[in-house]
Amino acid sequence: MSITDVLLRLHQNNFYFFAILLFIIGFHTMLTHNNLIKKVIGMNIMDTAIFLFFVAIGYIHGGRAPILEPGAAHLYVNPLPSALILTGIVVAVSITAYALSLIVKIYQHYGTIDAEEIMRLRGGETL
């Protein structure tokens, strides 16, 4: 498989490509930053990538909303992934709010939101 074949396939599936790219960016952010708020932002980027991936699975180019018309034969977009994503967005927002509230409590207790500094203040204990 040549590089042009790979690029053509990525062009045809650009939603999947961008979902993977967003997930990698979010994962990299979570792994490389010590700031807890940046870790939450990385988690949200990963959530967005997963949402894009699931919506892309249900997307059909040229598809229509699944409303049946008599005598018409059309391609229909699967509404199930979009409906599941609504639930996922609610869960992601709830987890983000909970994580940020924990970060506020951590800041009040330790005076910092840097993970390495918190570990140093705890005397090297593992969480």
All domains in the chain, ordered by first residue? 3-121 (1.10.287.3510)
35 bridge partner residues: 114
Confidence (pLDDT) at 9: 62
Confidence (pLDDT) at 102: 96
Alpha-carbon distance 27 to 107, whole Å? 24
> Is-contact 46 26, C-beta < 8 A?
yes
pTM for this predicted structure: 0.78
Tell me the CA end-to-end span of the chain in Å, nearest whole number: 47
Compute the residue count for the chain. Answer: 127
Place of tokens 């940020």: 100
Alpha-carbon distance 72 to 94, whole Å? 42
> Is-contact 84 60, C-beta < 8 A?
no
Confidence (pLDDT) at 125: 58
Measure the CA angle with vertex 56, ends 52 and 62; round to 5°: 140
Which pLDDT tens digits describe the chain residue by residue (127 residues)? 666 666 556 556 788 888 999 999 999 999 999 999 999 999 999 999 999 988 888 777 777 777 777 766 677 777 788 888 899 999 999 999 999 999 999 999 999 999 999 999 888 655 4
CA distances from 95 to 23, 79, 84, 90 (A): 18, 25, 17, 9
114 bridge partner residues: 35
